[in-house]
A and B are shown apart, each in its own frame.
Chain A
Amino acid sequence: MIYLFDKSFEGLLSAVFDRFEYRHDVSRLLPADQAQQALFEEAHTVYSSNAKSERVWNGIQTKADAAWQRIMYCAFLSELTEVHHTLFMVLVRLFAGQVDLRNFGDAAILLLSQTAKKVEREKHRMKAFIRFEKSEDGMYFARIAPDFNVIPLIITFFKNRYADQPWIIYDQKRQYGVLYDTDQVHHIRKLPEDLSDHMLPDKPVQMDEDETLYATLWRDYFKSTNIAARKNPKLHQQHVPKRYWHLLTEKKIIWE
């Protein structure tokens, strides 16, 4: 039996619920949009439900410690089909009492913890690489395009740190973001093209008058703090991978 789900965390947990509800013998968990892979096997579409997923999550809390709950959630945020499948299988085994989460000799356990590690690394990078630009109305705006869906993991951090300034962090890849209005955090989503026409502001957003000054000073600082005699481009690129450059104030190419 193949399970198809909607790629949401609720969906994945609901799948675990269904597996025990119907006592299916599940061979794979797949995103619904990859249903064509289920050609030769019977498929079951999982309907995400809050009630189901909440029960499963409560169950996980009794069987896995806080560290493992975090690993599972982070592994989920990787958005990788293979990892989603593995997480599903591990959860099934967890509830069947057939797995010990401390056993790193187990390939599935190792995959989850290593994937979570990758996601955490990406989360940490975003804490470092996010660059706010200040607009005329005092809003600090940052665009990101991370490999994994890490916004849920960084909200609290930015909320605590930049508590006295309004900011937006927008994920270009996934087309959603979060807005902090110095009080609460709101989720924002890009409107579909055909709906957004009349929503466009009358004039483009104006940058704060000092924005260029500080961006320039930052680029200057970045250059002058470098020690040329110790040049090590490989190490530089390892720490600041090229795929992030286009959104980094100090690395992006400026057309003047």
Chain B
Amino acid sequence: MERIREKLSILADAAKYDVSCSSSGSKRKNTDKGIGDASNGICHTYTEDGRCVSLLKILLTNYCIYDCAFCVSRSSNDIKRAAFTVDEVVELTMNFYRRNYIEGLFLSSGIFKNADYTMERLLKIVKKLRTEERYNGYIHLKTIPGASEELINEAGLYVDRMSINLEMPTEEGLKKVAPEKSHEAVKRPLGIVQNKIQQFSEERKLIKHVPQFVPAGQSTQMVIGATPENDMQIMHTASAYYKNFSLKRVYYSGYIPIRMDDVLPVVQPPLMREHRLYQTDWLLRFYGFNVHELLNEKHPDLDMQVDPKLMWALRNMHCFPVDINTADFQSLLRVPGIGRQSVQKILEARKFGRLRIDQLRKLGIAYNRAQYFIVCADTPVGLGSLQEHQVRSRILSLGKSKYAPAFSTQLSLF
């Protein structure tokens, strides 16, 4: 018992810097009275840092032949090493899953011997779960860079999501901290899986029963703040990968100094910056924004004081105010303080009469922020003529984000 406890704590500790914990997007159903399904996306608990725990996130081993400066498991780092056996991982997953602790398994590994040898072990685990344990829960598998195409393709038949990390937003940044790695080595497996997904979805149009292949798609991750890239470089990279590899998600991980190292600066994790990047990511994927509108040569960095949607609105005051009672979906979507759900509600509700301020508040829009950018039935005359800096200072002085203390780098006395 003590040995397995020690292994779990070592290998969970090493895996936790992979941010992805999503368990949604797959359509895997429980068939023939097996165990589990992966069609939901449930966060079973949250750690004390407020991140969700949906998957059992572990490394198969933290022995690694590479020496990447940003990674805890780098070969030169003097830490405890451990390795699970195939059966141990399967047992842990099944027993956790049956108790409703987790939504599935996130399996990654340090690279021991070589890429194919590692990938074979990982494949053995996912295959055993699916075929012997009749497990239909979620599986997220990290693709091992350099693994052969056959192994990647076979693994794709058993897992829900595959991912491989870009690590640093630019090639130059990556070269600095991990000379053995390159973005090219990431693009190859991403491309292999993307092609296969496409091929399967083509076949599905013709043949009814085509096996599932990575139904929840691929994702990747970048470390933020370890290398000097600006927000524009980060988001342009993200946007390009979304486009070229049809990624489901790009994750941004604020760099946490693990140990002193002369290559990397020692700082607090840039939580606010990370948050703003995620907001931008959402604007790109769900709000119809183009990355160039938000970040360009003139504005290479995001505004830390206000969210990116408000930042864009303040820069484009000529697009406002929009009339809540007449504006179309796209223009409503661009109003700060109005989200997708609120837009839907507004479109429905305004069929029954012109909407007033009190109704908008009740619908759940952030009126304090939105008021400078909209007109509705009873908007007082004269509000619309404020200058950019006036709107900005009013919003900043009135609203105080409830998240502000969490993102503050200021130490608290109490």
Among B48-56, B174-182, B315-323, B378-386, the stretch in contact with A: B48-56
Q: A102 and B256 in contact (CB under 8 A), knowing A235-B406, A239-B43?
A: no
Docked complex Cα distance between A239 and B42 (Å): 12
Check if B49 sits within 8 Å of A226, measured CB to CB: yes
Check if B42 sits within 8 Å of A103, measured CB to CB: no
Docked complex Cα distance between A225 and B12 (Å): 6
Check if B49 sits within 8 Å of A103, measured CB to CB: no
Cβ 8 A contact of B9, one of A110, A182, A224, A240: A224
Q: How far, in Å, is B91 (CB) from chain A's closest CB?
A: 9
Check if A239 sits within 8 Å of B8, measured CB to CB: no
Cβ 8 A contact of B351, one of A102, A164, A230, A240: A102
Check if A124 sits within 8 Å of B47, measured CB to CB: no
Check if A227 sits within 8 Å of B362, measured CB to CB: no
Residue of A nearest to B50 (CB): A235
* A230-243 contact mask (Cβ, 8 Å, vs B): 1 or 0: 11111110111000
Docked complex Cα distance between A123 and B51 (Å): 21
| A60 within 8 Å of B (CB atoms) | no
Q: How far, in Å, is A248 (CB) from chain B's closest CB?
A: 7
Check if B99 sits within 8 Å of A132, measured CB to CB: yes
Docked complex Cα distance between A227 and B51 (Å): 9
Docked complex Cα distance between A105 and B324 (Å): 14
* B9-52 contact mask (Cβ, 8 Å, vs A): 1 or 0: 10011011100000000000110011111001011111111111
| B414 within 8 Å of A (CB atoms) | no
| B271 within 8 Å of A (CB atoms) | yes
| A213 within 8 Å of B (CB atoms) | yes
Among A41-49, A71-79, A81-89, A155-163, the stretch in contact with B: A155-163
Q: How far, in Å, is B80 (CB) from chain A's closest CB?
A: 12
Among B109-117, B141-149, B216-224, B352-360, the stretch in contact with A: B352-360
Check if B42 sits within 8 Å of A127, measured CB to CB: yes
Cβ 8 A contact of B47, one of A128, A130, A227: A227
Check if B42 sits within 8 Å of A217, measured CB to CB: no
Q: Kindly list chain B residues whose C-beta atoms are within 8 Å of the C-beta of A100.
A: 352
Cβ 8 A contact of B100, one of A106, A131, A164, A217: A131
Q: Kindly list chain A residues whose C-beta atoms are within 8 Å of the C-beta of B352.
A: 100, 102-103, 105-106
Q: How far, in Å, is B330 (CB) from chain A's closest CB?
A: 21
Q: Kindly list chain B residues whose C-beta atoms are within 8 Å of the C-beta of A20.
A: none
Q: How far, in Å, is B273 (CB) from chain A's closest CB?
A: 13
Check if B349 sits within 8 Å of A105, measured CB to CB: yes
Within 8 A of A (CB), among B271-316: 271
Q: A165 and B362 in contact (CB under 8 A), knowing A220-B8, A227-B16, A240-B46?
A: no
Check if A236 sits within 8 Å of B50, measured CB to CB: yes
* B254-279 contact mask (Cβ, 8 Å, vs A): 1 or 0: 10100000000000110100000000
| A249 within 8 Å of B (CB atoms) | yes
Check if A222 sits within 8 Å of B35, measured CB to CB: no
Q: Kindly list chain A residues whose C-beta atoms are within 8 Å of the C-beta of B196.
A: none
Q: Kindly list chain A residues whose C-beta atoms are within 8 Å of the C-beta of B40.
A: 127, 157
A-B CB proximity, top 8 nearest: A235-B50, A230-B49, A239-B46, A232-B50, A226-B47, A103-B352, A224-B12, A224-B9
User: 20 A-B contacts, Cβ less than 8 Å apart?
Assistant: A103-B351, A105-B359, A107-B362, A128-B45, A140-B98, A162-B36, A165-B98, A210-B95, A214-B96, A221-B12, A224-B8, A226-B47, A227-B256, A230-B49, A230-B51, A231-B48, A233-B48, A236-B47, A239-B43, A240-B45
Starting from the known contacts A102-B352, A227-B51, 11 additional A-B residue pairs (CB-CB under 8 Å) come to A102-B348, A103-B352, A162-B100, A164-B134, A216-B5, A218-B99, A227-B47, A228-B49, A230-B254, A236-B46, A239-B52
Which residues of B are at the interface with A, using a C-beta cutoff of 8 A?
A: 1, 4-5, 8-9, 12-13, 15-17, 29-30, 33-37, 40, 42-53, 56-57, 92, 95-96, 98-101, 134, 254, 256, 268-269, 271, 345, 348-349, 351-353, 355, 359, 362-363, 403, 405-406
